[in-house]
Amino acid sequence: MNALVGQSGGPTSVINASLAGVVDACRKSKKIDTVYGMRFGIEGVLEESLLDLSTLDAETLKGLRNTPGSALGSSRLKLQEQHFEPILKLLKKRNIRYFFMIGGNDTMDTIHRVVEYARDHGWEMSGVGVPKTVDNDLYGTDHTPGFPSAARYVAMSVLQAGILARDMQRVDQFVIFQTVGRSAGWLPAAAACARQQSGLPPHVILMPERAFQREAFLQTVKQAHEKHGFVSIVCGEGITNADGSPVSASETRDKFNNVEFGAMGGTSAAMILHRMISNEFGWRGEFQVTESLQMCAADRGVALDIKEAFDCGKEAVRLAQQGNSGVMVTINRVSKPKEPYAIELGTAPLSEVANHERPMPDKYISATGMDVTKAFLDYAAPLVGELPEYQFLPKPRARRAAR
C-alpha cells in the first residue's frame, strides 16, 4: 500500500516541516511501501505528476524543516465533478490507501470530497489533513502551524518600523502596516506583542471581526498622535465597513469565492486608510503592505512552530495507519495562562473544518474594537516568543520656567 501527500493554498514558513513529518513517518512505516508527493497540489494528481519521496535522504528531510515556501508546489484549484473520476483512476493505479494534504479550510474540503468519492466508488482509503495557515482561522485547533512564525514576523516588523516612525515623526506623522488575513484578526492582533514599553507601537489595531467606523477611527488616530507625536496603525487586509463591503474596495474573487485583497489593480486597505488620514489631518505618512512575506520569512521562524508542524505531519500518518479518516490533526493547549506552555495533539472532523472559520473570540478584542486584551497577549506570548530588547534614550528634561 502506498501514500500520497500534497500541499495546497498559501504557504507558511513551516509547511515543509509538516511535509518532512509525513514523509519521515511514512518511510518508517511497515504498512506503507512508497510515499508519493503531488506536484502543485491536486493538479499533480490530475496530471499524474508525482515525486517518489521515499528516496529522499535524511539530510534532505532535515533541511526541509527549515526551508520556506511549498517544496512540492501549491495550487488553488477548486475540484469540479469532472475531476473525481481521473483522480480515482490514479489512486487505484498507484494503490494509494493513505491520502494526506497540508493546508487550510479549502484543502480540508478537498481531502473530504476525494475520500468520500473514493469510498462511494468502492475504494477504501484513509484521508487525514495536516493544518496550515498563517491566518490562524482553522476550526477546532488552538492555533495552526505557520501562525506563530507569521505572528512573530508581524510583531518584529511593527516593533522595528514603530521605532523608526517614532524617530522620524517630524517627517512622517503616521505609519500603517497591513497583514494578511481574509476574515480573522489573529495576525494584526499579534502586533500587540511588540509593545515593550508604554507608548510603543502599535497604537491602533484594526481587525476584520469589528466593522470599520471611520469617525471613531480618525478620533482614535488623533488622540494617539496628540499623546505620542506619531501614530502606528496595524490593519488586517480583510477589514470591512458596517455594510460588509471591504475597506480595500476589492471586488476580485478566487475560485473558492474568496476576496483576493492582493489582486492586481486592487487598492489595499492600508492605502485607503493612508488617504483617509492624509485628507483629514494633512499629515505625511507611509504604508507597508508585505503580502506573502509573512508566509515565507524563515529567518523569523519560531522553533516551537517548526517542531509542532513536523509533529502534526507525523501524527497524521499515525492516525491514518490506525484506521482514522476524515479528520484533521489539531493542536490542543492544555496549559493555563502563567503555566509553562503545553499542548496535546487531537483531531477535528474534516467536514466541520471545511465549513467553519475561527474568528478571534470577543474576549481577545478590546471594548473599542481597535485593540486587544491581556487575554490575547497571554494566548499569543508563548507562540511569538521573546522579542529583541532595544535601547532607548531618556526623554529630555522639561525646561524650567525663567525667573
Q: How many CA atoms lie within 13 A of 195 on its CB side?
A: 21
Q: What is the Cα–Cα distance from 390 to 358, expressed in whole angstroms?
A: 34
- Cα torsion angle, 390, 395, 396, 397, sign: negative
Residue among 325, 330, 298 at smallest CA distance from 311: 330
Q: What is the Cα–Cα distance from 396 to 374, expressed in whole angstroms?
A: 31
C-alpha grid cell for residue 185?
484578526
Q: What is the DSSP string of 303-323?
A: HHHHHHHHHHHHHHHHHHHTT
C-alpha grid cell for residue 283?
499629515
Q: Does residue 135 have an active-site annotation? A: yes
Q: Say if strands 327-333 and 126-131 run parallel, antiparallel, or are unpaired.
A: parallel
CA 79 from centroid of its chain's CA atoms: 23
Q: Enumerate the β-bridge partners of residue 52.
A: 36
Residue with cell 534614550: 393
Annotated active-site residue in 135, 305, 311, 371: 135
CA 223 from centroid of its chain's CA atoms: 31
User: Any idea which residues carry the catalytic annotation?
Assistant: 135
